[in-house]
Amino acid sequence: MATATPATISATRRRMTSLLGRPWSGVAVLLVFYIGLVVVFSVLSPFFLSVRNMLSIGSNVAFIGLMAATGTPLIIAGGLDLSVAAIAGLTGVVISLLHMQGLDIWLAVAVAVFVAAAIGWINGLFTTRLKLNPLIVTLGMMSIVSGLALVMTGGLTRPLMVPGFNVIGQGRVFGVPLPLILMLVTFLGLWLVLTRTRFGRHVYASGGNAEAARLIGIPVERTVVTLYIVSALSGAVAGIVLAAMLGAAAPNSAGQHLLTVIAAIILGGTSLNGGRGSVWGTLLAILILGTLNNGLTLMNVSSFWQDVTRGVVLMLAVSLDQIRSRALGD
Amino acid sequence: MPTAAPRLHMQGIGKSFGGVPVLSGVDFTVEAGEVVALLGSNGAGKSTLMKILTGLYGRDAGTIAVDGETVDFAAPSAAVAAGVRLLPQEISVMPDMTVAENIFAGDLPLKKGLLFRSVDDAAMRRRSRELLDQLGFGAIDPDTVMKRLSVAEQRIVEIARALAGQARILIMDEPTAALTEQEATLIFRIIRRLKAQSVSVVYISHYLSEVFEISDRIAVLRDGRNAGTFRTAETNHADVLAAMLGNTVGDLYAEGGAAKGEEILSVEALSLPGKLDDIGFSIRAGEILGVFGLVGSGIEVLGRAIYGALGPMKAGRIRLGGREYRPASPVAGKRSGIGFVAAERKKEGIIADLTVRENIALSFQERFERGLFVSKSAETSHAKKWIDGLGIRTRGPEQRIRTLSGGNQQKVCIARWLVEGVELLILEEPTRGVDVGARKEIYGKLRDLADRGFAVLVLSSDVEEVAGLGDRALVLDRGRVVGRFGRGATPAQLMAATSADPAFHAA
């Protein structure tokens, strides 16, 4: 009796929505999707399934993952940082220019990190104190920062070859690329902070209901400003990793990856309305997007098509988020 | 016998929501050119009756006739087309558009252009001017941008909007709530003009003095039934209040505890420009102080001002727990021992996506930590203690708060503050949107908490709540304390105080 009566349809729909409404369902769906992707590419390409290729995916996505990791709590708290990738570009530029002026490489790194923190702090002040829309503030900041990076270099790529520094991007520990380790440690740390600390609770409360959070004496502004600074710092670290990997600082090297950063956070199930999300979802999403890129490249698909694919995946993910929101009764 | 049919005749109106009757057998009549005040306390059924009249709700029983013709408004647009217009309580204008555009936003006059029809600005301006003239406010320029007008003038434009087209019945819901006394007289002037033009007005207000000034007749609802109709000229405040409220409080409220402790809070000369004026009172441990006031009286800000939610207060002296206290921020208020439960539970109270446990622990999170990390077991045992203590009906501490009923969400919002060190609980509208059963429980629990030594300050626009719950009661009106009562004050006495009517106090 395979006829679908209205009763069975509505029962199925109820089951579907109740499944999608579970807190972990988003991450579970992503995990299934990721495994499916790995299986498909393993069948399609003989080069895909190897430790070497997996580690290469990991180290390719590491600097993007770093930015997406800190972007996740920021979006959960109701913020958004579009300037993070531009900050990554500026960081490399600042380090290479200062180093060329004869400054010690680690001092140059320290200056660049400080500059990034200041930019994050400004983002935070504009969005909290002046209550401006973060989309506009950080879009403006993105333009300022990437423009400055171009001005400082004249648009040219600067070499940055300092063995001690390049290790950050090229080194390995027990065969595992250092950038990948850095990214995984960041995710682990943020997971602990978000789920196990007071600050983490404040993040969810600030994004879930800022006014209620303020009225029960949670420092909402301070929480959000901190997250903007952390996001900018992750941009700086991503810029350092990228410049160290490439042995050069290009002013616009990271900007093109902003879309991937935001896409990963949303694909990972973090609600753009705030209050909901997890870093594990973002990590899986980063792996999915990286695997998609890698697999398509191995199959000789033009990189132009990869942009199309990423967009399609993103829109599917956003639709899924909307369905999940409804299932949760918003 | 067959005189002209009344302008509006509602007969035997019945309505229930989910099996709970809200209106039963209500009759309501308005003659042409008559101003009828519709009175009743919160939940009496006024707004439901008006929503049925304007086509927002369907009805379960009864008939409606306008000018003798039976009508059945399936949607608000049908009511508007029949000349039944509603002026909602909240001012809703488009601040960046002109007066004329605001008046005609719903029905822009169009003219034929070369390619397509465009807005006929000239006609719109001309008709706006006519309408404003007709109301006696020809001085308002139709080209002015709305946000440049005063609140009272915006109200007048809203009335003009409601009258655009053929209005036969105008329903005004608390039209003076946001206005000063002087501005309110402008509204009365308009009502008199409308009367002269034979428009009928249904006037909803809590201010008895206003009602007595402007209405021809007063219709009172109580618990969804007619509770009396009075010719305004032949009645007085006491009779109307008795019809509205009765003189009994009922058994919704627990008996007051006897022993009161030391003074917890004392407030002197607290002022907030335009909102509060020279407020003074004190509360002792174990005591519930109720503060009653209508919309705009200052009850919306008094609790927040003391807690610190409005930032640093410039005027006034406050002592809390025997020490000088200056409101500065919610963080500071909390640290000084104040717990605050906001009126709008959904917007300002619960964090919907978090669990009951997380919602309870959030306000004093630092007390549920072990080292760097949150201790879930400490949170759980604390949450369980107050789930039992306040009788919160939930599947357990891990249930998401959004799935709880309003009354249980409210208890969670109270539970947040029940930790060592909090001495004063400030609650705004503690039972707004809560069903009767849960109300009774919340009242009981507040009394329990007072008996445990909390000082409880309840700010409410529900007069019966304040009269029944408080050991003492204050009445606020337009930012000032206009009445102080001991235990046993009746709702009618509190209500009468807001009306500030000397004749009644003498009686």
Q: What is the pLDDT of residues B161-211, one digit of tens each?
A: 888 877 899 999 888 877 777 788 888 988 998 899 899 999 998 778 889
Q: Which token pair is B167? A: 């209005």
Tokens describing residue B14: 């019945």
Residues B348 and B395: beta-carbon distance below 8 Å: no
Terminal alpha carbon distance of chain B: 41
The C-alpha atoms of residue B277 and residue B274 are separated, in whole angstroms, by: 8
Q: In 3D, which of B239, B208, B246 has the Cα closest to residue B225?
A: B246
Residues of B within 8 A of A212 (CB-CB) are 342, 347-351
**Cα gap B102→B32, rounded to integer Å:** 28
Q: In this complex, do B362 and A200 lie within 8 Å of one another by their Cβ atoms?
A: no
Enclosing domain of residue A48: 29-327
Per 3-state DSSP, chain B is made up of helix, strand and coil in percentages (nearest 5) of 35, 25, 35
* pLDDT score recorded for residue B165: 73
- What is the rounded CA–CA span in Å between residue B290 and residue B485? 10
Task: Provide the H-helix boundaries in chain A.
Answer: 6-20, 25-44, 51-76, 84-100, 105-128, 134-153, 163-170, 178-196, 198-208, 210-215, 220-246, 258-267, 279-298, 303-327
Residue (of B276, B260, B259) closest to B268 by Cα position: B276
B298: distance to nearest CA of chain A, Å? Answer: 18
Q: Quick check: A211 and B347 CB within 8 A?
A: yes
Instruction: Collect the ranges in chain B with pLDDT lower than 70.
Output: 1-3, 246-252, 255-259, 436, 499-507
Q: Please report which helix (H) or strand (E) contains residue B450, including its range.
A: helix B436-451
Residues 313-342, chain B: which have Cβ within 8 Å of A? Answer: 329-331, 333-335, 340, 342
In a domain, A20, yes or no: no
Chosen CATH of B259-337+423-507 out of 1.10.1670.10, 3.40.50.300, 3.40.50.410, 3.10.20.90: 3.40.50.300
Report the distance separating Cα A76 and Cα B422, nearest Å: 30
Measured in degrees and rounded to the nearest 5, phi and psi for residue A23 equal -55, -35
Cβ separation of B348 and A200 shorter than 8 Å? no
pLDDT value for A21: 53
On the 0-12 / 13-18 / 19+ scale of CB atoms within 10 A, A130 is exposed
* Residues B227, B233, B239: CA angle, nearest 5 degrees: 35
Residue whose pair of structure tokens reads 């960041």 in the numeric block: A186
Instruction: Specify whether the CB–CB gap between A57 and A298 falls below 8 A.
Output: no
- Nearest CA to B416 among B370, B357, B467, B461? B357
CA gap B430, B442 in Å, rounded? 8
Name the nearest CA neighbour of B157 among B178, B138, B171, B181. Answer: B138
Q: State the helix-helix crossing angle for A84-100 and A105-128, rounded to 10 degrees.
A: 150
The pLDDT value recorded for residue A202 is 95
Chain B positions touching A327 (Cβ under 8 A) are none
DSSP assignment letter at B176? T
Residue A203 CB contacts under 8 Å (≥ 6 apart), including other chains: A73, A76, A77, A194, A223, A227
Query: Contact, B260 vs B453, CB < 8 A?
Result: no
B8-245 shares its CATH topology with B259-337+423-507:
yes
Burial of B208 (0-12, 13-18, 19+ CB in 10 A): buried
Cross-strand pairs, B355 = B400
DSSP B276-329: EEEEEEEEETT-EEEEE--TTSSHHHHHHHHHTTT----EEEEEETTEEE----
Q: A174 vs chain B: nearest CA distance in angstroms? A: 31
In chain B, where the domains are located: 8-245, 259-337+423-507, 349-420
A–B: how many Cβ contacts below 8 A? Answer: 76
Quote the CA–CA distance of A210 and B349 in Å, as a whole number.
10
The reply to whether A3 falls in a domain is no
Candidates B330, B352, B372; nearest CB to A216: B330
Residue B139 forms contact with A (CB below 8 Å): no
pLDDT computed for residue A282 by the predictor: 94
- Please state which CATH number belongs to domain B8-245: 3.40.50.300
Which residue type, as a one-letter code, is found at position A121?
A: W
Q: Do the domain assignments include residue A298?
A: yes
* Chain Cα centroid distance, residue B400: 29
Contact residues on chain B for A201, CB-CB shorter than 8 A: 358, 361-362, 365, 374
Element (H, E) at B466: helix B463-469
Inter-residue contact A207 to A86 (CB < 8 Å): no
Query: From CA B308, how far away is CA B8, in angstroms rounded?
Result: 49
Residue with tokens 């009602």: B211
Q: What is the pLDDT of residues B123-133, one digit of tens each?
A: 899 999 988 98
Residue of chain A whose alpha carbon sits nearest to that of B346: A212
What phi and psi, each to the nearest 5 degrees, are found at residue B82? -85, 0
Give the span between the Cα atoms of A44 and A42, in whole angstroms.
Answer: 6
Q: Nearest by CB to A205, which of B351, B372, B373?
A: B351
Radius of gyration of chain B, Cα coordinates, nearest whole angstrom: 25
- Tell me if A196 and B369 make a contact (CB, 8 A cut-off): no
Q: Which amino acid appears at position B189 of this protein?
A: R
Query: Nearest CA of chain A to the CA of B365: how many Å?
Result: 6
Residue showing tokens 């207060």: B313
Q: Report the distance separating Cα A16 and Cα A20, nearest Å.
A: 6
Asked if the Cβ–Cβ distance from B340 to A215 is below 8 Å, we say yes
Three-state secondary structure readout of B21-37: EEEEEEEEEECCCCEEE
Say if B377 is an interface residue toward chain A (CB within 8 Å): no
Residues A141, A23 contacting (CB under 8 angstroms):
no
Show the tokens assigned to A33. Answer: 């999707």
Does A9 fall in a domain?
Answer: no
Q: What pLDDT was estimated at residue A1? A: 42
Q: What are phi and psi of B481, to 5 degrees?
A: -80, 115
Contact yes or no for B351 and A329 at CB 8 A: no
Count the Cβ atoms, other than its own, within 10 Å of residue B494: 24
B432 close to B447: Cβ distance less than 8 angstroms: no
Beta-carbon separation of A215 and B342 below 8 A: yes
Q: Which long-range contacts (CB under 8 A, 24 or more apart) does B389-393 make?
A: B389/B415, B389/B418, B390/B414, B390/B415, B390/B445, B391/B441, B391/B445, B392/B356
* B359, closest residue in chain A (CA to CA): A205
Angle at A204 between CA A200 and CA A210, to 5 degrees: 125
CB-CB under 8 Å, A214 with B340 = no
> Could B347 and A209 be called an inter-chain contact, meaning their C-beta atoms sit closer than 8 Å?
yes
Looking at residue B255, the DSSP 8-state letter turns out to be P
Please report, for residues A40, B9, B55, B86, the alpha-carbon distance to residue B74 in angstroms, rounded to integers and kept in the order given: 57, 17, 6, 16
Mean pLDDT, contiguous 10-residue spans, chain A (330 residues): 53 59 69 90 89 91 95 96 95 94 94 97 95 94 94 90 90 92 96 94 94 94 97 96 92 85 89 88 93 89 83 79 65
Per-residue confidence (pLDDT) for residue B230, from 0 to 100: 93
**Which of A211, A214, A215 to substitute to test the interface with B, most B CBs within 10 Å?**
A215
Which residue matches tokens 């998609």?
A292
A275 to B353: CB separation less than 8 angstroms, yes or no: yes
In a domain? residue A239 = yes
The encoded tokens of residue B248 equal: 């009994």
- Nearest-Cα distance to chain A for B403, in Å, is 9
Task: Note whether residue A14 is domain-resident.
Answer: no
What pLDDT, on the 0 to 100 scale, is given for residue B3? 61
Q: Is B374 on the interface with A (CB under 8 A)?
A: yes
State the complex-level ipTM.
0.84
State phi, psi for B209 to the nearest 5 degrees: -60, -40
Contact A27, A20 (CB under 8 A): no
Chain A residues whose C-beta sits inside 8 Å of any chain B C-beta: 192, 196-198, 200-202, 204-205, 208-209, 211-219, 275-276, 328-329
Nearest-neighbour CA in chain B from A202: distance (Å): 8
Is B410 within 8 Å of B306 (Cβ atoms)? no
pLDDT at B507: 32
Give A-chain residues touching B402 at CB under 8 angstroms: 328-329
Listed residue (B35, B21, B50) closest to B195, CA to CA = B35
Do the chains contact at A197 and B366, CB–CB below 8 Å? no
**What number of CA atoms fall less than 13 Å from residue A174's CA on the CB side?**
1
Instruction: Report the residue of B307, B348, B353 to disrupt the A interface, i.e. the one with the largest count of A CBs within 10 Å.
Output: B353
pLDDT at B164: 80
pLDDT at position B76: 87
Q: Is residue A72 part of a domain?
A: yes
**Contact between A245 and A98 (Cβ < 8 Å):** no
Q: Is A217 a domain residue?
A: yes
Q: Is B50 helix (H, G, I), strand (E, B) or coil?
A: helix
Q: How many domains does chain A have?
A: 1
Residue B404 sits at φ, ψ, to 5 deg, of: -85, 160
Q: Is B168 helix (H, G, I), strand (E, B) or coil?
A: coil
| φ, ψ for residue A141, nearest 5 deg | -65, -40
Interface touch A198/B347, C-beta < 8 Å: no
Question: Cβ–Cβ of B369/A198 closer than 8 Å?
Answer: yes
Give me the residues paired with residue A271 across strands: none
